[in-house]
Amino acid sequence: MNTGKRMTRQRRIILDDIRKNRIHPTADEVYKSVRKRLPRISLGTVYRNLDLLARTGEIRKISIAGKQMRFDGDKSDHMHITCVRCGKLTDIPDDPRYCDVCRETLADSGFVLQSVSVELFGVCPDCREDEDEER
């Protein structure tokens, strides 16, 4: 997608960092990682570039109620599940049936579906294992 602005070196490095990062980093985590390559970059620059990249569709913002915003470089249709114990955010591959249900639900509303966001919460395998060990 065209950002309307040229892709600066800083923006390219931020985008590359998010795309290679599977943990859905926060802005602070992106900042810490990007500083290894760009030691003089400011946190404000990272925030502005993350916002621009999200607005132009290069990355996704993931908003979880009560939690810090996270970013996802995978633009394919998929959902996320968050561990209620440790906060780990994991991808769930898209199942076309979910979108079909949304389209059917909206069919008579006059809306045109553009995207779907579903928040799933559970306990991750690592936390379940820790829980089992405590017993």
Is residue 42 domain-shared with residue 64, that is, in the same domain? yes
Of 45, 49, 79, the residue nearest 62 (C-alpha)? 79
How far lies 70's CA from each of 2, 8, 40, 81, in Å?
A: 22, 22, 23, 13
Is residue 13 domain-shared with residue 69, that is, in the same domain? yes
**Residue 6: pLDDT over 70:** yes
Is residue 17 domain-shared with residue 42, that is, in the same domain? yes
**Residue 125: pLDDT over 70:** yes
Is residue 2 domain-shared with residue 25, that is, in the same domain? yes
**Residue 4: pLDDT over 70:** no
- Per the structure, the count of domains in the chain is 2
Instruction: Convert the pLDDT of each residue in 23-59 to its tens digit.
Output: 899 999 999 999 999 999 999 999 999 999 999 999 9
Residue 65: give its domain's CATH number: 1.10.10.10
**Residue 108: pLDDT over 80:** no
Residue type at position 64? I
Instruction: Convert the pLDDT of each residue in 85-100 to its tens digit.
Output: 988 888 887 776 666 7
Is residue 14 domain-shared with residue 33, that is, in the same domain? yes
Is residue 12 domain-shared with residue 29, that is, in the same domain? yes
**Residue 3: pLDDT over 50:** no
Is residue 9 domain-shared with residue 56, that is, in the same domain? yes
**Residue 64: pLDDT over 90:** no
Is residue 111 domain-shared with residue 60, that is, in the same domain? no
Residue 85, Cβ neighbours under 10 Å: how many?
Answer: 14
Last residue of a domain, one of 29, 57, 74: 74
Question: For the chain, what percent of residues have pLDDT higher than 70?
Answer: 87
Is residue 18 domain-shared with residue 84, that is, in the same domain? no
Is residue 38 domain-shared with residue 81, that is, in the same domain? no
Is residue 49 domain-shared with residue 83, that is, in the same domain? no
pLDDT, position 11 = 96
Provide the domain limits for residue 100: 76-135
